[in-house]
Structure 1
Amino acid sequence: MIGFFHHYFVEPFASLIHLTASFFDGSYGMAIIIITLVIRLILSPFMLKQYKNQQQMRVKMDLIKPEMDEIKKRMKEEKDPAVQRKMQQEMLELYKKHNMSPLSFGCLPILIQMPILMGFYYAIRGSKEIASHTFLWFNLGHPNIILAIVAGIIYYLQFKVQQSNMPKAQAQSMKWMGLISPIMILFVSINAPAALPLYWSVGGLFLIGQTLFAKAYLTKKEPEKAIQT
């Protein structure tokens, strides 16, 4: 399995990085930026579909909130486990009635992009040429604390922008993820070659712009559609 992944994902991306760098006077930093943007552009249709699904879910959650609050209130007051299970089933029926499911938030874009992004990640990490290349003020093969902090901040901002489109209940339950994910990226970046936080920073900035674009231009008619479905 590891050999399959390396042959069909890592090696092609490594070749692509070298080929792209040849068009920019051997600049692997520019190659990483260009390929990151191209990958994100290719994935954009899936991510925008996910955004629309989240928008529809938010509208539906607002619609059923009074009923949900009533069921939750009765569950808190009820002590009998059997009755509580019945109320949980009532909650599931409410979701079913409004055609709602956790999958409505869009797992497919994540599943599609993971092997692509991981292949790109390991192609950057395993390249000796990148490890010895200098881009802007930093060496791509050595850790850079400033770039690591920038990557962490960008991913925190990216989560906050994405969180603004989530239903309130989901946004509340995922608020810790907004801290955990950037902190993980920061700690990994501190000890990783600077090429990796560069890749994360460019990708994070693209996602912020993509989400703001979708929010401004692609969801004007979504509330009506969500209520009708």
Structure 2
Amino acid sequence: MLIVGVLMVTGCSPGTVSPIDADNSFWDKYFVAPLSDALDWFKEFLGNYGYSIIVLTIIIRFFLLPLTLKQMKSSKAMQKIQPEMQKLREKYKNDQQKMQQETMKLFQKHNVNPMAGCLPLLVQMPILIAFYQAIMRNEHIFEANFLWLELGSADPYYIFPLLAAVTTFLQSIVMGMGDNPQTRLFLWIMPIMIFVLAFNFPSALSVYWVISNLFTMVQYAILGDKFKAKKSEAPAK
């Protein structure tokens, strides 16, 4: 759902990519154009747009790391009170108003803000969307090559679409989506969706997805235990 939302917001598809208009568009001038210029600069420094996409992806993810950590901290806080929330749902399943009141009291008791995890995501989205557009709308990238790829065309051997799908699946595992019955279905939906998109879109976007997924996996492998709610931490009866 998030990926589809991003693509709808960007308004980009393989046949409808518009040039960057920094003179007449506030969004292009202050968000897309600077990132596109950064891609050009790293290309001159590194000699290839593929390396440019990889390096700038990692830099952006490091820049967003404080927001990601805040998200992980909020997620851990919500996980810790899940047993109590489940009891409230069962106790007041026929009284939605009472359940909402008791849930708010529970949040206040444990000093948990359910919206705290959404705010970092909302801050990240404009940056990630702008970077996506900078890749898709940079005309020089569409004329460049990287490894066997023509960055402006889909991977003819389907290797990067498959890598994007596999790393999306592994990323979901690392993030613990398989442990939650409500998100377990996305373990399979998201990789399939990513593969279909990567198969139809320029391979430059596939490179971005693969590197971004790998960064997230390493990030959660290093920091995940710190923010993972343990069973022993669940509130005692």
* TM-score grouping bracket, smaller chain normalisation: 0.7 to 0.9
Aligned match of 1:112: 123
**For residue 190 of structure 1, what is the amino acid of its counterpart?**
F
**For residue 3 of structure 1, what is the amino acid of its counterpart?**
S
**For residue 39 of structure 2, what is the amino acid of its counterpart?**
I
CA offset digits 1:33-61 (Å, max 9, x no partner): 00000001111111112112222322232
Please, which of 138, 145, 148 is the counterpart of residue 134 of structure 1?
A: 145
Within 5 A, what are the aligned runs for 1:90-169? 90-104=102-116, 106-144=117-155, 145-163=158-176
Q: Note the aligned Cα RMSD (angstroms).
A: 2.8
Structure 1 residue 159: Cα displacement: 1.6
| Mapped contact 1:36–1:202 kept (Cα < 8 A) | yes
Aligned match of 2:11: none
Q: TM-score, normalised by structure 2?
A: 0.77
| Mapped contact 1:56–1:223 kept (Cα < 8 A) | no
Structure 1 residue 88: Cα displacement: 4.6
In the superposition, relative to structure 1, how do residues 48 and 94 fare at CA in structure 2: closer, same or farther (>3 Å)? closer
Structure with greater proportional helix content: 1
Aligned match of 1:208: 217
Q: Which gives a bigger RCO, structure 1 or 2 (Cα 8 Å, sep 6+)? A: 1
| Mapped contact 2:39–2:56 kept (Cα < 8 A) | yes
Aligned match of 1:185: 194
| Mapped contact 1:143–1:192 kept (Cα < 8 A) | yes
Query: Bigger radius of gyration, 1 or 2?
Result: 1
The count of corresponding residues between Structure 1 and Structure 2 is 210
In the superposition, relative to structure 1, how do residues 102 and 179 fare at CA in structure 2: closer, same or farther (>3 Å)? farther
Aligned match of 1:9: 31
Query: Percent identical across equivalent pairs?
Result: 35
In the superposition, relative to structure 1, how do residues 87 and 21 fare at CA in structure 2: closer, same or farther (>3 Å)? closer
Q: TM-score, normalised by structure 1?
A: 0.79
Unaligned runs of 5+ in 1: none
| Mapped contact 1:51–1:214 kept (Cα < 8 A) | no
**For residue 136 of structure 2, what is the amino acid of its counterpart?**
R
| Mapped contact 2:154–2:199 kept (Cα < 8 A) | yes
In the superposition, relative to structure 1, how do residues 93 and 56 fare at CA in structure 2: closer, same or farther (>3 Å)? closer
Aligned match of 2:60: 39
Structure 1 residue 180: Cα displacement: 3.0
